[in-house]
Chains A and B, each alone.
Chain A
């Protein structure tokens, strides 16, 4: 008989604005298991975990850890009870190093008891890092770390504080499949000792299948079911979550590409340290097609996206949208050429979290004639009408258009981004990790929207670390490896996942002639 290590009984949480995020939610977790917490965006998963971690105080219910009822008022107390949390959005100080972030609040002091002992910090970091086989460079500043490294730091931060119950809120949302696999091996190792227990939140149901022992489903703030993972299929789980069947397979006609919209010519980009991130890259995207970009993170995807969107300058080569070079153009000028962009970093670039839903949706278009009155002032009536329509069309769950975006759940924040970027009538859309951290229902919605836009004759450039997504949504695929295009697959439907993996890891490589086919006129 498994021993219950954590019981959250009839938890109710009402937010300051009156929103009931959890209502009589019950979660029971056994010692040594990996327990999945699943549910749509806004179902209340993060909220429930915040209650457990002492960030939010519940209005009702009790928490039992190791058979003892406890009151958790703040994260420090949570850590004393052995609860550690890895947040959905990173909680790190960008200007400090990895080691400094790791020991924040428990810094080792030097003998004099005044100065910080940097060497000890680094040693401590290396020690846990080795122990759990999550390798990070302790001396790197967080702001210079890749997303993966940041994710590892988050997990290590919890472990170094002695967490026995580890909450992982969508830890894989930002990882590549290989890294995810690697992480899963580590997580399984971690619970194998029977001491550690993991609560795992993810929208990727195949991960839940691969990793977890049992699961609890939340829907609209209530716990609506639990199951042994072995007894249910992915389809069962999504039905429990959404209340209907979800079809992630996209049913789409073959693409009918027309003229070229985006053309990247001999693009070479060096990063701030002079390292070559993209080396003489050539490709084009045509109207009516979705070109997927696959590749292990750090092979220039980020730089490519930044260059096309005007957030980064480039010295060599050229990028043309509708035959106009974007060199030296401002972000607005590029957008006006018919470009729109879902940024991979939702909270930094995708939204202003303290601004209202309305202002976030209007941010790229408020200055246009149709939103101004005769006197050149903002036409709030018209703006409100349009915003309301978009909220409805893109299924954004929000009380009103004036709600701050930070009050929304992660997935609904992404829907705000999508509502803005898909509705500006672009010729080319750069979708950089468009469904990262988004539930199955919303993922289905966004992917179908991408295909619908393609069918309307728009060009789509899809960058995604989710192999499944690249294979499923794209018409053609390019693979970035070693900062170059390693392969061009004209018909994505003929590609198998393992083959794609081989190109990504550099095991296989196409010839220059084969790759050159990606340039159309």
Chain B
């Protein structure tokens, strides 16, 4: 057996065990709180699969996470810990989508084109969202280059401003008096992303997300830019010495990540919302970090890690809605499970022993020969 095989086996064991441990811990907590712990646990674990609606909710959560996950994946690889994808996710739709709502006269014609009109509009808004995201995404890196401010700080500040901007847009500019909600007028039918499952908000956005995971994988492992980004992320001095432009790479990656997050925002609201009503952080940007790390920064694993997070959240919500477990506890438990999943060192001792034994065996075999 090779060491790679041992490592893979332990990785699998670790994953299963950490989930099991988390479930046991949760169960212990529930035991103290709930009058009917078994029922609560059942809702948590099986709940998400008990109805099409709930299963749909998982996918609804996965949709936006895929793109913000890709964005964060790129950022982290390039050693850039900017939080700006959240801002791009918020701002891109806020600037793109209302165009149809305001200018129904111009775009109304698209309605007559049927499916074709939808494709044109959605494609256009993806492109616009991407451009806006790219611009916003690169601002922290530009500022860093010009004035040396840390990207983490500028991005958080920018995000705060973007939230306020969205709020102002929704409440002052797009505000639909007729509805009485703090939201825009409803999106016209032709401007929406096609829903796939009746009764849920699962839409073709999921495919867009999957495609982008693959695109991100291609970028990271098969393009020059991805190669540069990885080296810059690991050792910028070395990258510079080898002839890679550190600043340019950082900027391109930030722009690309911003674009992905922007596209994510646009496609999410068009598939999920009836009207534009985002006035607070969505959290998808920050969850993107978690999903990215859980996927070990491998874009191809993002769908799995995003599904895991979505499943957890829906399970917790189902439990919260149907039992006496308070909603606050859900947050605690989700965090607990997330922490267990991230516990890299679980079983490292046993793994090391297995590897040592294996090495000794190989050594003995060599000597016999």
User: A332 within 8 Å of B by Cβ?
Assistant: yes
**Residues of B contacting A376 in the complex (Cβ-Cβ under 8 angstroms):** 223-224
**Residues of B contacting A140 in the complex (Cβ-Cβ under 8 angstroms):** none
Q: Is the CB of A359 within 8 A of B242?
A: no
Please judge, given known A-B contacts A351-B235, A352-B235, A359-B227, whether A17 and B241 are in contact too, CB under 8 Å: no
Give the contact stretch, choosing among B172-180, B192-200, B355-363. B355-363
Q: Mark A435-464, 1 if CB is under 8 A from B, else 0.
A: 000000000000000000000000000000
User: B23 within 8 Å of A by Cβ?
Assistant: no
The number of residues on chain A lying at the interface, defined by a beta carbon within 8 Å of a beta carbon of chain B, is 36
User: How many whole Å from B245's CB to the nearest CB in chain A?
Assistant: 7
Q: Is the CB of B352 within 8 A of A16?
A: yes
Q: Which of B223, B231, B358 contacts A18 (CB 8 A)?
A: B358
**Residues of A contacting B240 in the complex (Cβ-Cβ under 8 angstroms):** 311, 331
User: A23 within 8 Å of B by Cβ?
Assistant: yes
Please judge, given known A-B contacts A16-B352, A355-B231, whether A367 and B224 are in contact too, CB under 8 Å: yes
User: A366 within 8 Å of B by Cβ?
Assistant: yes
User: How many whole Å from A371's CB to the nearest CB in chain B?
Assistant: 9
Q: Is the CB of B243 within 8 A of A364?
A: yes
Give the contact stretch, choosing among A161-169, A318-326, A341-349, A469-477. A341-349
User: B234 within 8 Å of A by Cβ?
Assistant: yes
User: B313 within 8 Å of A by Cβ?
Assistant: no
Please judge, given known A-B contacts A331-B240, A331-B242, A359-B230, whether A18 and B235 are in contact too, CB under 8 Å: no
Q: Which of A343, A350, A359, A378 contacts B231 (CB 8 A)?
A: A359
User: A353 within 8 Å of B by Cβ?
Assistant: yes
User: B238 within 8 Å of A by Cβ?
Assistant: yes
Q: Which of A59, A309, A348, A363 contacts B244 (CB 8 A)?
A: A363
User: How many whole Å from B216's CB to the nearest CB in chain A?
Assistant: 14
User: How many whole Å from A368's CB to the nearest CB in chain B?
Assistant: 10
Q: Is the CB of A363 within 8 A of B356?
A: no
Q: Is the CB of A366 within 8 A of B356?
A: no
Q: Is the CB of B238 within 8 A of A354?
A: no
**Residues of A contacting B358 in the complex (Cβ-Cβ under 8 angstroms):** 18
**Residues of B contacting A335 in the complex (Cβ-Cβ under 8 angstroms):** 243
Residue on A with the closest CB to B238? A352
Please judge, given known A-B contacts A330-B245, A331-B241, A359-B227, whether A19 and B359 are in contact too, CB under 8 Å: yes
Q: Mark A294-313, 1 if CB is under 8 A from B, else 0.
A: 00000000000000010100
Residue on A with the closest CB to B242? A363
Q: Is the CB of A355 within 8 A of B352?
A: no
> Once the chains are docked, how many angstroms separate the CA of A380 from the CA of B358?
31
User: How many whole Å from B354's CB to the nearest CB in chain A?
Assistant: 9
Report B217-248 residues with CB < 8 Å from chain A CB: 218, 221-224, 227, 230-231, 234-235, 237-245
User: B3 within 8 Å of A by Cβ?
Assistant: yes
> Once the chains are docked, how many angstroms separate the CA of A363 from the CA of B235?
12
Residue on A with the closest CB to B221? A378
> How many residue pairs at the A-B interface have CB separations less than 8 Å?
88
Q: Is the CB of B235 within 8 A of A343?
A: no
User: A377 within 8 Å of B by Cβ?
Assistant: yes
User: A467 within 8 Å of B by Cβ?
Assistant: no
Q: Mark A393-412, 1 if CB is under 8 A from B, else 0.
A: 00000000000000000000
Residue on B with the closest CB to A383? B227
Report A1-59 residues with CB < 8 Å from chain B CB: 14, 16-20, 23, 59
Residue on B with the closest CB to A399? B3
Q: Is the CB of B238 within 8 A of A350?
A: yes
Residue on B with the closest CB to A420? B242
Q: Is the CB of A59 within 8 A of B238?
A: no
Q: Is the CB of A377 within 8 A of B222?
A: yes
Q: Which of A341, A354, A362 contacts B235 (CB 8 A)?
A: A354
User: How many whole Å from A160's CB to the nearest CB in chain B?
Assistant: 30
**Residues of A contacting B360 in the complex (Cβ-Cβ under 8 angstroms):** 14
Q: Is the CB of A20 within 8 A of B237?
A: no
Q: Is the CB of A349 within 8 A of B223?
A: no
**Residues of B contacting A359 in the complex (Cβ-Cβ under 8 angstroms):** 227, 230-231
**Residues of A contacting B362 in the complex (Cβ-Cβ under 8 angstroms):** 18
Q: Is the CB of A14 within 8 A of B239?
A: no
Please judge, given known A-B contacts A351-B235, A354-B235, A362-B227, whether A18 and B242 are in contact too, CB under 8 Å: no
**Residues of B contacting A311 in the complex (Cβ-Cβ under 8 angstroms):** 240-241
Q: Is the CB of A364 within 8 A of B242?
A: yes
Report B232-268 residues with CB < 8 Å from chain A CB: 234-235, 237-245
Q: Which of A23, A332, A355, A372 contacts B230 (CB 8 A)?
A: A355
Residue on A with the closest CB to B243? A332
Please judge, given known A-B contacts A14-B355, A20-B359, whether A378 and B241 are in contact too, CB under 8 Å: no
Most chain B CB atoms below 10 A, which of A14, A20, A311: A14
**Residues of A contacting B222 in the complex (Cβ-Cβ under 8 angstroms):** 377-378, 380
> Once the chains are docked, how many angstroms separate the CA of A333 from the CA of B244?
10
Q: Is the CB of B223 within 8 A of A363?
A: no
**Residues of B contacting A309 in the complex (Cβ-Cβ under 8 angstroms):** 241
Most chain A CB atoms below 10 A, which of B218, B234, B360: B234
> Once the chains are docked, how many angstroms separate the CA of A309 from the CA of B240?
11
Q: Is the CB of A355 within 8 A of B244?
A: no
Residue on A with the closest CB to B354? A18
**Residues of B contacting A332 in the complex (Cβ-Cβ under 8 angstroms):** 243-245
Q: Is the CB of B231 within 8 A of A59?
A: no
Q: Mark A353-394, 1 if CB is under 8 A from B, else 0.
A: 111000100111011000010001110100000000000000
> Once the chains are docked, how many angstroms separate the CA of A17 from the CA of B10?
13
> Once the chains are docked, how many angstroms separate the CA of A9 from the CA of B358?
23
**Residues of B contacting A23 in the complex (Cβ-Cβ under 8 angstroms):** 363
Q: Mark B59-79, 1 if CB is under 8 A from A, else 0.
A: 000000000000000000000
> Once the chains are docked, how many angstroms separate the CA of A374 from the CA of B238?
28
Q: Is the CB of B227 within 8 A of A378?
A: yes
Q: Which of A16, A330, A348, A378 contacts B238 (CB 8 A)?
A: A348
User: How many whole Å from A222's CB to the nearest CB in chain B?
Assistant: 11
Q: Mark B30-62, 1 if CB is under 8 A from A, else 0.
A: 000000000000000000000000000000000
**Residues of A contacting B6 in the complex (Cβ-Cβ under 8 angstroms):** 18
**Residues of B contacting A377 in the complex (Cβ-Cβ under 8 angstroms):** 218, 222-223
Q: Is the CB of B3 within 8 A of A17?
A: yes
User: How many whole Å from A361's CB to the nearest CB in chain B?
Assistant: 10
**Residues of A contacting B235 in the complex (Cβ-Cβ under 8 angstroms):** 348, 351-355
**Residues of A contacting B3 in the complex (Cβ-Cβ under 8 angstroms):** 17-18
Please judge, given known A-B contacts A330-B243, A363-B239, whether A352 and B352 are in contact too, CB under 8 Å: no
Q: Mark B326-369, 1 if CB is under 8 A from A, else 0.
A: 00000000000000000000000001100110111011000000
User: How many whole Å from A430's CB to the nearest CB in chain B?
Assistant: 11
**Residues of A contacting B242 in the complex (Cβ-Cβ under 8 angstroms):** 331, 363-364
Please judge, given known A-B contacts A355-B230, A359-B231, whether A14 and B359 are in contact too, CB under 8 Å: yes
Residue on B with the closest CB to A367? B224
**Residues of B contacting A372 in the complex (Cβ-Cβ under 8 angstroms):** 224
Residue on A with the closest CB to B3? A18
Q: Which of A59, A355, A367 contacts B356 (CB 8 A)?
A: A59
Q: Which of B231, B245, B352, B363 contacts A20 (CB 8 A)?
A: B363
Residue on B with the closest CB to A360? B238
Please judge, given known A-B contacts A18-B359, A335-B243, whether A366 and B238 are in contact too, CB under 8 Å: no
Query: 4 closest pairs, A vs B, by CB?
Result: A332-B243, A352-B235, A363-B242, A18-B3
Listed A/B pairs (9) with beta-carbon separation below 8 Å: A14-B356, A16-B351, A59-B356, A343-B241, A349-B241, A352-B239, A355-B235, A363-B243, A378-B221
| Given A17-B3, A18-B362, A311-B241, 20 more pairs with CB closer than 8 A | A14-B356, A16-B355, A17-B355, A18-B358, A19-B359, A331-B242, A331-B243, A334-B243, A335-B243, A341-B241, A349-B241, A351-B238, A352-B235, A353-B234, A354-B234, A363-B231, A372-B224, A377-B222, A378-B221, A378-B222
